[in-house]
Structure 1
Amino acid sequence: MQRGNKSVLDYLQKDPMGFLLFMLYRAPAVLLALTFHEVAHGYVALRCGDPTAKLMHRLSLNPIKHMDPIGTASMFLLGFGWAKPVPVNPNNFKRGRRDDLLVSLAGVTTNFILFLISTLLTVLIGFALYVPELSSDPQGMRFMLSYQETGYTLQLFPAYAGEIASLLRAPWLLHIQRFLLHFCMINLGLCLFNLIPIPPLDGFHVLNDLVLKGRINLSGNAFRITHLALIVLMFSTDIVSRAVGAAVSFVQGLVLGGYLRIFGL
């Protein structure tokens, strides 16, 4: 993932037109992942007794309502980030801390489910897309579908399609596969990034509700300060990128390997 992030930034500098073609696939993946993440928060909050998101029209599937400028830009360039948080009023919850935990887990759970589904689809499409020498071999499938492999990276960028043309038997499916590969990475990156236990991310609420039993109560200013510190950390160092990238590669490798074993590879 780290290598792919550098490729994205290099691509923008070296080939602006190619970058625009790349974004035709990446943009829908980012917007869908962010939208489903936030709508899941709002819907679960509504089921737990808090109608705030519904009253403020944040249960909409319109991505524009959920976009945060910096968080969305991070999603496009780094593969992880955040949307504009859905407004939640914990005072409306039926069962306080339990409901706060459920709402906090709703977004990351939705993203992880979408990751599982889209990864399965990439495997199924791979059987038809790649030549038999690849699709019948576990190493061949990993070369094309694993985040750490060159074949995966080449599929993400339309300008590199010619380099893998000989590996494809149904080239028209590459358009669908390319979107799904983006969608897999974005959803898993969004899930794991938001599980970092730093406010205002979901992971902090999970830690506070599940482990600390709600003992930490931060003010709005404290949340804003930690959020700003996280942004500075993300864009001034590669600490967050490396950590999330390593976690994404590890989890994706486990899930992909599991699917390949299910199909006898």
Structure 2
Amino acid sequence: MMQIDQLVQTITLAAIPILFAITLHEAAHGYAARHFGDNTAYLQGRISLNPLRHIDPVGTVLLPLLTLVLGGVLFGWAKPVPVNFGGLRHPKKDMLWVALAGPLSNLVMALGWALLFKFSAAFPENYFAEPLMGMAGIGIKINVVLLVLNLLPLPPLDGGRVAVSLLPHREAYQLSRIEPYGMFILIFMAMTPVLSWVLFPLVKFVENLLFIMVGI
């Protein structure tokens, strides 16, 4: 358990990367859906970079705080952006890009935080170098976890929708039937070591790849 002063410091450093990682992920889905013909998110005011429009009290605030305090996989979620896949110009094909938009936004943010980490590390004597490196480290971690987690081929995760888009119609239909139970399966995995067994090697691989890309 963290001490109070350490907890306050960690929350201060983590607030910005966590808010942006979770909310921009959802906004990216909305932008992609509008691009491919579905205005549902736009009409509900959800295509926005304002984090307040996407915050879920449990997934965006409580869960990340608990994982910071207690340890474990740092992840969370925002209010899902509404997408009417039937409103897309080519529903099965366009679903792929709408689903990928969220994880791709996390990849871009992870790369941006990695560059900030490298830049800050180059000036260790600067007063802001250490806190910026701490913030960037959290930014890398949360975005890579969200990237990997959301690409798991389990509806309603983005990876599940990608799989539904790519599979032949019969197999896609069978997989889509899992969606009502997908979150229960994910919660069960999170309550057991299974999710960690799946995530940690993939997260480590992506982090190492990012570090190689930016030369850390």
Q: Give the TM bin, normalised by the shorter chain.
A: 0.7 to 0.9
Which aligned pairs between 1:134-173 and structure 2 lie closer than 5 A?
A: 169-173=125-129
* 1:250 lines up with 2:205 in the alignment: yes
Task: Measure the CA separation in 2 of the matches of 1:218 and 1:68.
Answer: 30
* 1:68 lines up with 2:24 in the alignment: no
* 1:38 lines up with 2:10 in the alignment: no
Distance 1:220 1:244, change over 3 A: closer
Q: Could you list the per-position Cα deviations for residues 115-147 of structure 1 after superposition, in whole angstroms to 9, with x for gaps in the alignment?
A: 112212211221112xxxxxxxxxxxxxxxxxx
- Note if contact 2:95-2:161 (Cα within 8 Å) is conserved in structure 1: yes
* 1:180 lines up with 2:136 in the alignment: yes
Which aligned pairs between 1:193-208 and structure 2 lie closer than 5 A?
A: 193-208=149-164
Distance 1:74 1:221, change over 3 A: farther
- Note if contact 1:75-1:186 (Cα within 8 Å) is conserved in structure 2: no
Structure 1, gaps ≥5 residues long: 1-9, 130-168
Q: Paired residue for 1:135?
A: none
Of 112, 115, 123, the match for 2:107: 112
| Shift, 1:250, TM fit | 1.4
- Note if contact 1:71-1:83 (Cα within 8 Å) is conserved in structure 2: yes
Aligned CA RMSD, in angstroms, stands at 2.3
Question: Among the aligned pairs, what percent are the same residue?
Answer: 32
Deviating more after overlay: 209-218 vs 75-84: 209-218
Instruction: Report how many aligned residue pairs link the two structures.
Output: 209
Deviating more after overlay: 70-79 vs 245-254: 70-79
* 1:50 lines up with 2:38 in the alignment: yes
Could you tell me the TM-score, scaled by structure 1's length? 0.72
Q: Paired residue for 2:70?
A: none
Deviating more after overlay: 45-54 vs 218-227: 218-227
